[in-house]
């Protein structure tokens, strides 16, 4: 039972990391657009 919990925590941790990294990519992409003067799409704007 304990090993299952450990595996689940590991999976959750990986998922959280991938969510954070994709969120970071979204933000840096948005920053690049702002720097270049490109309008941001509406679906990205609601993240900020």
**CA 47 remoteness from chain centre:** 10
- DSSP state string for 1-48: -HHHHHHHHHHHHHHHHHHHHHHHHHHHHHHHHHHHTPPPPHHHHTT-
Q: Is the pLDDT at 9 greater than 70, yes or no?
A: yes
- Whether the per-residue pLDDT at 5 is higher than 80: the answer is no
Q: Are 40 and 34 in contact (CB under 8 A)?
A: yes
Higher-confidence residue: 46 or 29? 29
This prediction has a pTM of: 0.40
Q: What total of structural domains would you count in the chain? A: 1
**Structure tokens that stand for 44 in this block:** 């990205």
Look up the domain containing 24 and give its range. 2-45
**pLDDT band (50, 70, 90) for residue 44:** low
pLDDT: is 44 or 26 the higher one?
26
Phi-psi region at 38: left, alpha or beta (left = phi > 0; alpha = psi -120 to 50): beta
Higher pLDDT, 8 or 40: 8
pLDDT at 24 over 60: yes
């Amino acid at each position: 039972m304990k090993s299952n919990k450990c595996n689940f925590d590991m999976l959750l941790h990986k998922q959280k990391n991938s969510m954070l990294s994709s969120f970071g990519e979204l933000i840096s992409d948005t920053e690049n657009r702002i720097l270049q003067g490109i309008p941001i799409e509406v679906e990205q704007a609601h993240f900020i």
